[in-house]
Chain A
Amino acid sequence: MRPLSVRRRLLGGRGGSKGEALAFYGFLSPWIVGTAALTLYPVGYAVYLSFTGWDGISVFKPWVGLANYREVLTSPDTLSSLSKTLLLVAIVVPTTIIGSLVLAILLNERVRGRTVFRTMIYIPAIVPPVAASLIWKVVFDQDSGAANRFLAIFGVDAVSWLTGNHAFVVLIVVLLWAVGAGIIINLAALQTVPADQLEAVKLDGGGPLTAFRHVTLPAISPVLLFQTVLTTITTLQTFVPALLLSPIGAGNATGTYTNIPNANRVYMVDVYSQFFAYSRYGFGSAMLVVFFVVIVALTVVIFKLVGRSVFYAVDPTESRKG
């Protein structure tokens, strides 16, 4: 008798007993309540606000229908911040993916000091975006930075790196510094490459490039694809470096956004400015919703293309851009 009831409590019969269901929901309750209040509700609230012209202060939230969305998709300012963001993605994503793959392949060779090299290359990826931004701000300082000291060797005059279009170059450098973030998952992926097939290519007289194209690349392509989409998503979110590379404004949350050089006014900077510099909560919400839809679409693409197995191996610290 006893073992049977034990079995039932553990396995919950076929569909799960009432007591077990209660325990299940009991254990999940912090997450269920938390997600409902701190993720689902805020997203829903933003969707609601996106149909209003709320200024963030008034009690009344005037309904404006789709006007905000129309503006997001047509206003020159939004399209400008969007195109800068896409340019950033077009530069940073391929460089990061190819760079971290090349690094992983090199680190996969049996060379002396491999562990030390791996740590040295990976360390910038664990540096919080705040610190990364400040480090490069110091390096690219017009008067005392190493970048201008280096250029001076070739007789180039001091460049004002953190203003005008140069600021975009510095932003790219900050993001690319984290190229090592992908090497751990890449190294793990390289271990799954079938050694016997590599050997077969070798026996057939194929060179390392042939082996790479016909054996290594197919084996690791799901991981590469996954990283491409993930890096795209994180690069789209670029915000903190764009904010911190520029001179800081007066006041904390509100004054900061107006000092950012035009070249670095990427999409998220635009969103935060709409809220906290221009008090356009309705319009800002519409921008957030559009962004959210794009992220969801990209996430669905990952699932469809590479399945869950790779998804689970993601490194959550790859969020330099946050």
Chain B
Amino acid sequence: MEPLLSVRSLRVEATSSVGTIVAVDKFDLDIYPGDVLGLIGESGSGKTTAVRSLLGLTERNVRITDGSIYFQGEQVLGGGRNDLSRLRGRHVGMVFQNASSSLNPLLRINTQMRQVLKANRSDQTASDRATRIEEVISRMGFQDPGRVLRSYPHQLSGGMRQRAAIAIAIVSEPELVIADESTSALDVTTQAEVMALVRELATDMGHSLIYVTHDLLLAAEVCTRMAVMYGGEVVELGPTSEVVSSPHHPYTLGLLRSVPMWAKKAPLVGIDGTPPRVTPGFQGCRFASRCPHAVRECSVVDVEWTQTRSDHGSRCIQPEGAPLYSGG
């Protein structure tokens, strides 16, 4: 099957007064139609920068310095092109972390949805748009969808706002939806409801979904595949069941051991230390300084990606070879 979205060796750098840091590096990703992929990482791992870069939505001091992106087989970044803005809205919908800051406070939900359709679906008439808006909003599980459409964001509760934000993101039928920590700001019950809704909408309509989160447990419940990011790199990628049951990368293992449900009888273990500041000259594995299994080589050579199965791989010099489950 041809991937919907292909990202190859994406590199993103952030420049500030203290120098340049590499926010995202060697980022490879294929998203297939119907895919539900969890992009996991702690804050600062580069996951948000990575997905925002896919739409060219980085902040002023952040630049894509290398890599190529293909959408439906067509190159949209690299080779002298940058058509990333063309993907926005029409092909890729984005749901942000906090709907109270991502919805324009001065415009009604209806207006915000209509703007998206006007910008991306010039083939539609005004009544087509109204019909489409009704259709989408009625699937969001609101008791009174009409009232939501007429409301300003501040007149809705947190959960309702996030649902409205989802409706805005999917109203123009994008093939891919990116949800960036979209439920982190909600309370647990609402979180589960909204998450279920996102997943249902994505799979029902055959859309693909990238779910960006720091919450491994939540991602494991929702996603069919998982990509784990650390220090701007994807360190492990595979089917959720595989990644959870036999992690290849010590960082993934560390994450799993810090989740009470999976630590089982073993004591809960945190990961010592803090993530490194990755400057352009950084050498070796980014996790080496915190890795209990690190050998001298780890901090000297650039670690290549190893594909251990057709659908599971990691960026570690001893994938599966390390005594991951003993000791530590």
**A complexed with B:** no
